[in-house]
A and B are shown apart, each in its own frame.
Chain A
Amino acid sequence: AQSVSQHNHHVILSEAASLELGCNYSYGGTVNLFWYVQYPGQHLQLLLKYFSGDPLVKGIKGFEAEFIKSKFSFNLRKPSVQWSDTAEYFCAANSMDSSYKLIFGSGTRLLVRP
């Protein structure tokens, strides 16, 4: 079955630390990948997306993600986090070949300490 896994459920960092959140998917064929962010009390907003082309994708607020097909991974990175990055981050995927579902990972709660 198609699935998306986020192995880090809670991450605590100090400001200016580097961030990497893991995301693995189990899809065959062509896949679209997304990272969404949910700030406290708010709805989900798109950080970045990968459909095709350059596997290194740059998003808003200094975030980037790298699609590594051989590892079925789409990890989210930021070189230097800020307190305002405290939020929950969701990886999501859907398949161009089948399924009309956008499947989400279970999320990673990031707390950035000032």
Chain B
Amino acid sequence: EAQVTQNPRYLITVTGKKLTVTCSQNMNHEYMSWYRQDPGLGLRQIYYSMNVEVTDKGDVPEGYKVSRKEKRNFPLILESPSPNQTSLYFCASSLRVHTEAFFGQGTRLTVV
């Protein structure tokens, strides 16, 4: 089954404790991206990747890092999480940058 898989689905952590949210897709898509969803703000792009080893900042990259060492995986790293990073995070992939995006199930992160 074609899908985008994120883990974990739910995470509560403390300020400053490094964490990684994993994202994997099995559709051989080139383009992957991370979004955060906050009430009233819709989805805002954090980082995106055009292909392996090619990543760039989206609209809200501060406090986040990503890597794209393999085509299927695109982890999101929070080196030192802060409470303002409490949000719902979605990973997405698409065959090319301008084609439809497929979304993961989301990761609800709470930073206390």
Contacts and interface: CB of A to CB of B under 8 A. Distances in A.
A65 to B, nearest CB: 14
Interface in A76-111: 90, 92, 94, 96, 100-107
Looking at chain B's contact residues, is the secondary structure mostly helix, strand, loop, or mixed?
A: strand
Contact of A43 (B45, B59, B104): B104
A49 B103 contact: no
Contacts of B41: 106
Nearest to A42: B105
Nearest to B56: A100
A44 B103 contact: yes
Contacts of A46: 100-102
Interface in B44-89: 44-45, 48, 50, 56, 58-59
B44 to A, nearest CB: 8
Interface residues of B, number: 25
A106 B100 CA distance: 18
Contacts of B31: 100
Given A100-B50, A104-B43, A106-B42, A43 B105 contact: yes
B98 A32 contact: yes
B24 interface: no
Interface of B: 31, 33, 35, 40-45, 48, 50, 56, 58-59, 90, 92, 97-98, 100-106
17 contacts: A6-B42, A34-B100, A36-B103, A43-B90, A43-B104, A43-B106, A44-B90, A44-B92, A44-B101, A46-B100, A49-B100, A94-B97, A100-B48, A104-B43, A104-B44, A106-B42, A107-B42
